[in-house]
Amino acid sequence: MIPIALPFLGDEEANAAREAILSGWVSQGPQVAAFEREFSALVGAPYATAVSNCTTALHLALVAANIGPGDEVVTASHSFIATANSVRYCGATAVFVDINPDTYNIDPLKVAEAITPRTRAIIAVHQMGLPCDLPALAALARQHNLVLIEDAACAAGSEIRVDGIWERIGKAHGQITCFSFHPRKVITTGEGGMLTTSEPEFDRKFKLLRQHAMSVPDTVRHGASQTIFEQYLDVGFNYRMTDIQAAIGRTQLTKLDGIVTRRRALAARYTEMLGNIEGLRLPSEPDWARSNWQSYCVRLPDHVDQREIMQALLDQDIATRRGIMCSHREPAYAGEKPRHGLRQSELAQDRAILLPLYAQMTDDDQARVADAVRTELGM
């Protein structure tokens, strides 16, 4: 069976977890602090805060930006449902805009059209690891005094060229960037998330609110020679990452560049092997973006049935997934009529499929996938 994805974990991560377990401190502690330092250094952001997953990271980002009832947040419907849900958690309204069919990312022109006097933030999703047009979105956010939050759940290791210089996603191009370490992403801690920012006030709020808004963290109380009583300064959350996860994450970070290099080579090879198939549209990068290729998404020719080809490939032990879902079509969002056209988002869900891609994928297995796709498409 060729799976859709496979986490790149081995003995090094198992040993790191073992050491953390045997250290006597397993909840948020020194491993989390070290993971934050190393992650912020890697992406080039002044501050990083580790949390339990990217859904909680997005929620914290919105809470820290004071988003609440009556506020609107412009974002993509074409995303994992957690993006829209994070807005709902705050009692605010997600205003969905359509994607550009070439990049699967939100179109800054459509974002501009969706801004109203109630708009307070934009959540830009770097879908499947491909960076959004951040300079355009950042300019829009500045012009309208909005908070630009990046949903970089899939984009650890992706890069964008800004003023001629390649920079990693997370280097505070918007105000806040949120990452996921779920096993479907390029590096994993089982479950896990990270927020990066260049603004100390946001960082202070993330670190306070992820731990119940506790005035003195447990790490400080344990090391103190005087008795300290803590206070709860606000209604916070338990969004902590554990030291076991952080120890795994630190090891994964050392492998990130190698994983991305391999994924980029595999993506380039798919593009080579699947070229010249009538009607099949392959993904591509703008010249200012380098994707980590969290997913390789192809648009099927018009006459091909999405479910049928996925089943035909599954019958040959090749797992695929349909295109990224649209939140506005899910029962949870059925009560809200979208304000803006979402045709490209719907087409991407209905007409695209994701092919298997993971760092350990062998050239032979990849050739088997490409051959099967070619045969099923009658080429």
Ligand X SMILES: *Cc1c(COP(=O)(O)O)cnc(C)c1O
Residues forming the site for ligand X (CB under 6 A): 53-55, 79-80, 82-83, 125, 151, 153-154, 180, 182, 193
Q: 3-state DSSP call for residue 76?
A: strand
Instruction: Report in angstroms how near the CB of residue 153 gets to ligand X at its nearest.
Output: 3
User: Is 77 or 93 the residue whose CB approaches ligand X more closely?
Assistant: 77
User: Is 186 or 318 the residue whose CB approaches ligand X more closely?
Assistant: 186
Say if residues 150 and 175 touch (Cβ distance below 8 Å): no
Amino acid symbol at 369: V
Say how far apart CA 125 and CA 247 lie, in whole Å: 27
Amino acid symbol at 316: Q
User: Is 98 or 151 the residue whose CB approaches ligand X more closely?
Assistant: 151
Say if residues 273 and 367 touch (Cβ distance below 8 Å): yes
User: Is 50 or 298 the residue whose CB approaches ligand X more closely?
Assistant: 50
Which residue's structure tokens are 């992650």? 39
Instruction: Report in angstroms how near the CB of residue 151 gets to ligand X at its nearest.
Output: 5
Give the contacts of 30 (CB within 8 A, at least 6 positions apart): 219, 243
Phi and psi at residue 77, to the nearest 5°: -80, -35
Instruction: Report in angstroms how near the CB of residue 272 gets to ligand X at its nearest.
Output: 27
Instruction: Report in angstroms how near the CB of residue 377 gets to ligand X at its nearest.
Output: 27
Instruction: Report in angstroms how near the CB of residue 222 gets to ligand X at its nearest.
Output: 29
The region that residue 192 occupies, defined by phi over 0 for left and psi between -120 and 50 for alpha, beta otherwise, is left
Say if residues 323 and 352 touch (Cβ distance below 8 Å): yes
Show the tokens assigned to 272.
């080579």
User: Is 31 or 55 the residue whose CB approaches ligand X more closely?
Assistant: 55
Instruction: Report in angstroms how near the CB of residue 87 gets to ligand X at its nearest.
Output: 12
User: Is 82 or 267 the residue whose CB approaches ligand X more closely?
Assistant: 82
